[in-house]
A = this chain, B = another copy of it.
């Protein structure tokens, strides 16, 4: 279904790109969107929205359900693996974050995580994403909206039984030391990962 097939030299090229400063243009030029791209992207966008609604409304079952059974979550305070551990981690995160985001009168603030634009790369039953996120809450003066922090998601996804799930979500935050994204273009890195994977499959 892919409009063109990347050649067998790609693993070598991808490895090369990973060590050079900015692999941007070479990778970007080689993207080919399969005819099924729109459907895959639509389902992945829906997954990403369901992930955030689950997080913001404390629905930890639905949150965990966006990951594979052995999925991985990496964030500012550490990393966790396995759907059950991820659910527990999300619950702890929400309890802890309630101590930092408080309204003027001291009650827990209404905090929202927001998904902005996403670059999404799909190859068969594998996908990779790079998305910008930010936070906002009602913890400003007199209950006003105050912006929180921003960062990016670096995602790996797999399709299992016809359904896209996160196999790994890495949450980077530009306001936390050692959790910054870049300095290279995260999308170039994503393309190199996708192309390395394609190479491994002999495609």
Query: A interface vs B, CB < 8 Å?
Result: 3, 22, 24-29, 31-33, 35, 37-39, 41-43, 45-46, 48-50, 52-54, 57-62, 64-66, 110, 112, 114-120, 130-132, 134, 136, 138, 143-150, 162-163, 174-175, 180-188
Is the beta-carbon distance between B149 and A61 smaller than 8 angstroms? no
Chain A contact residues: helix, strand, loop or mixed: mixed
How many angstroms from the CA of A183 to the CA of B1 in the assembled complex?
Answer: 43
Copies in the complex: 3
Residues of B within 8 A of A147 (CB): 136, 144-147
Task: Find A115's partner among B110, B116, B148 (CB 8 Å cutoff).
Answer: B116
CB<8 Å pairs between A and B, sample of 7: A27-B62, A38-B38, A38-B43, A41-B46, A48-B117, A49-B131, A57-B183
Residues of B within 8 A of A64 (CB): 25
